[in-house]
Structure 1
Amino acid sequence: MNIRSYTSIADLVSIGNASSGFLSIIMITMGDYVLAAKFMLLAVIFDSADGWVARKFNKGCDYEFGKQMDSLSDIVSFGVAPALLLYALCSSFAIPYFNIVIALLIVICGILRLSRFNVISELCVDKFVGLPIPTTALILGTFYLSGFFSNGLALIIMGIVSLLMISTFEYPKIKDIKVLTIGGILLLLTFLPQKISILVASFPAKLLFTIMLLYLLAIPIIDLYTRFFRSGPNVR
């Protein structure tokens, strides 16, 4: 059948997501890691917008086609692109091939996470089971642009991110308009030219990286605390 009968406006946004991820990969091969990180963050903006566009314009359109488009785009932008960027940035790490192992882990866990999401998405309306996959691009991209990037710490963080994607921890879906607006503004500010001022240009990335780390770690800590310290029998 004609592909146009399946494609909607939201699917074009998903293509923008995938295109940004592909351009990020191209920048990595050219050695421009700053632009690669920025293209990954641009993919996050497209990914955040496609849900809103779908609700606004896609009434009566093929939901299943759009869901597959979204997932295929995500694995390019938030699976392959972050994995390649991490591999390139950490190629000089002291432990040989460790960067390859963690990069491969990102891709594998990303595929597993998206596959599970497609199966259970209709059952989990207000939460994510496992860490959302755009977190890979948000954390690695902002960490690199923040100015205090460390390859050892990046490998550890991205290893944790990968495992949390396939975990059963329930991460809340952020729907508050004010929070989303602030996040969107910070994302856009990460595109400031580095020539303006390294301190000024890197501040949004520092702030976003800190926020994402808190989001990453707070849910497992609260969940484990509840399980082990508050669910046991009362002791008199």
Structure 2
Amino acid sequence: MITKSIPSLITIGNLFLGIAAIMLVFHGNPELAALMVIFAMLLDGVDGRIARALDAQSDFGKELDSLSDVISFGVAPAFIMYVAAFQDVNPAAAWIITAIFPICGALRLARFNTASGSPGYFVGLPIPAAGVVVATLALFYEDIPVIVLMITTLALSFLMVSNIKYPNFKKVGIPRQAVWIVPLIVAVTVALGLLFPDHLPKIVFIPLVLYALYGLKKNVDRRIAKKKRARARQAEESTQSEHTA
């Protein structure tokens, strides 16, 4: 029974870190708040794998995971960005953008939970990736114009509810006999974060931005390829009709 509860306990840890991030940013520590969101992403990345390895998957765990994700990767990053960068801009614009991000995250999770089948890819940018990008991007608020931060937050919100396909790495499983490695990985990551609190968030920021841009690029490539195929078909049909005439 205790073994079956391990995935849910990990998910609760994710939720706890999201709440901690919100409290930290309001106490003037956005760097540590961003670290909490990164650690939450790490837990979110392993809870499902451990559930499958322990044969402990359940509808309860799925719903708990989504509710935790809304807090840790929707509400917490939005507040980090708001407190760090949006305090001196038009209040209406700041509030609307801050609210839009977790709303789009919740919509994306609702769509994910009600989607049938397992196509092997995500439709829309996953909320953990979007959330960590926003949380870590906020740390650059002194170097990046606030309008760029606002536009980027809106763009990430759109990507979450878009139909753009992103690679799904969650299907990469953990063998039951290797479950013990997970606490080690978590411990090492936490240690690195605590030793280098100013550097880890900015290091994590880069691959996640590339992931977000990768899906966008692949979507553009697919559209271009589709148009090329359509033009080729039209040219072929035109040639055939000329031969028939």
Q: TM-score range by the shorter chain?
A: 0.7 to 0.9
Q: Tell me, yes or no, if the aligned pair for 2:69 and 2:127 is still in contact at 8 Å.
A: yes
Distance 1:149 1:71, change over 3 A: farther
Give the TM-score normalised by the residue count of structure 1.
0.80
Residue 14 of structure 2 corresponds to 17
User: Residue 243 of structure 2 corresponds to which residue in structure 1?
Assistant: none
Name the structure 1 match of 2:26.
29
Structure whose residues are more often helix by fraction: 2
Superposed, which structure 2 residues align to 1:1-236 within 5 Å?
Answer: 8-57=5-54, 59=55, 61=56, 63-120=58-115, 122-145=116-139, 149-150=143-144, 151-174=146-169, 189-194=192-197, 201-202=198-199, 204-228=200-224, 229-234=227-232
Bigger Cα Rg:
2
- 1:197 is matched with none
Measured in 2, the distance between the counterparts of 1:143 and 1:119 equals: 30
State the Cα distance separating 1:140 from its structure 2 match. 2.1
Q: What CA deviation, in whole Å up to 9, does each residue of 1:82-105 have, x standing for no partner?
A: 111111112344444322111111
- State the shift of 1:128 in Å: 0.5
Cα RMSD between the aligned structures? 2.9
Residues 74 and 133 of structure 1 are in contact (CA less than 8 Å); yes or no, is this contact kept in structure 2? yes
What is the DSSP-based 3-state SS (H/G/I as helix, E as strand, rest coil) of the residue aligned with 2:122?
Answer: strand
Q: 1:193 to 1:47 in 2, by over 3 A?
A: same
Q: Which has the higher contact order (CA 8 A, sep 6+)?
A: 2
Which stretches in structure 1 are left out of the alignment for 5+ residues?
195-200
Ranges in structure 2 where 5+ consecutive residues have no aligned partner: 174-181, 237-245
Aligned residue pairs total: 218
Deviation (angstroms), 1:146: 6.2
